[in-house]
Amino acid sequence: MHNVLSYFFLVLLLAFSAACESDSRGSTTDGDSDTDSDSDADSDSDSDSDSDSDSDSDSDTDSDSDSDTDSDADTDSDSDSDSDSDSDSDSDSDTDSDVDTELPTCDNWPSVTGGTHGWASRYWDCCKPHCAWIENVDPQTEENMAKVCDVNDAETIPWISKDQWSTQWKPSGCNDATGVYTCTDMTPFAVCDKVSYGFAAVPLSGPQACQKCFQLDFDGSNNNVQYGATPDAGSVSLAGKHMIVMASNTGGDVGTGQFDIMIPGGGLGAFKDGCGRQWGVDVNNTALVGEAYGGFRTSCMNSLGYQATLDQMKTCVRDKCNALFGTDDKFAKLLRGCLWYVDWYNTADNPTFTYAEVDCPPELQDLYN
């Protein structure tokens, strides 16, 4: 009986042992399965990670949207950069716009070769230009005849009647209320920081003088030096600047080497009634129109004295330009020319130069006739 029981217990022990091994293998499988599950979990985790990664990637894509937002932030940043670039562009544009308000530079403008010594006075009398009179131009072609304007500054024909036998020419507005006048677009203007164009009465006469052009190379002195005076600061500042003027008036009241430059506010001279008619102002009011000879600058010199600084002189003349020409749009071109005298010409008084005849620039040709 004891042997039977021993045998029975041995069988049970073997059966229990086999079951344990089987559990152990199932446990390993579960373990693998857990591993797979971990692996899935890793895979999920990778997938989460991919998904995170995608989500990061999306989030990076969001972030790339943020980072493509950041890359779009970069692209926004690039776009900011582009925007900066646009902004730079705007900035360049602003710069360009600033440049438009300033004059371009032209340091390499050639001086005249040889040339003759001369000096510049100034005037604006509104009268019909000498070069609009038939006796002062080529009578056959009239090609070098200057244009004229009516009392309202509208360009008009210079004759009353004209046929193959005779022409009846219009008088000057300085002598007759029905006459014609200088057009106000014949005021001087700057081409760049060192060069300006304009019109002048020149020291020549005869039909071939009209519409000729001359370059004036300013030397930093003035005509008063010959009388022992010190050059004014405005004339000194013109050294190295150049001006090309076209002859619209000739002979008569200009001396040897003298160019009387047409500058609004430069003085009405002896014939002031034309400006009285065209501008509708009291030309005897020198506080408004300036002195007959020398214009605004002479009036300012009389009030400020000879010790006035350049800035004081420029401020005074600018104020007079604005007081007369800044009150009505019809004076806009005159105002431009008057302020040119302040800003580019620096209110120079009878500056000296070397001059020579040159080809006429198209800008002056277009304005002349």
Tokens 């925007």 found at:
83
268 phi and psi angles, rounded to 5 deg: -85, -15
List the catalytic residue out of 60, 64, 72, 125.
125
Question: For residues 84 and 89, what is the distance between their CA atoms, to the nearest angstrom?
Answer: 8
Q: Which of 60, 64, 219, 260 is an active site residue? A: 260
| Cβ–Cβ under 8 Å, residues 254 and 130 | no
The kind and range of the H/E element at 242 are strand 242-250
As a whole number of angstroms, the distance between CA 54 and CA 73 comes to 19
Sign of CA dihedral 226, 229, 234, 237: positive
Please list, in sequence order, all residues whose beta carbon lies within 8 angstroms of the beta carbon of residue 178, skipping any fewer than 6 positions away.
170, 171
Q: Catalytic site residue 125?
A: yes
Burial class (CB in 10 A: 0-12, 13-18, 19+), 329: exposed
> Which residues are registered as beta bridge partners of 291?
295
Q: Examine the residue annotation and report whether 219 is marked as an active-site residue of this protein.
A: no
Bridge-partner residues for 119, per DSSP? 258, 352
- Residue 165, judged by CB atoms within 10 A of its CB (0-12, 13-18, 19+), counts as exposed
Q: What gap in Å lies between CA 369 and CA 362, rounded to an integer?
A: 11
Catalytic residue numbers read 125, 260
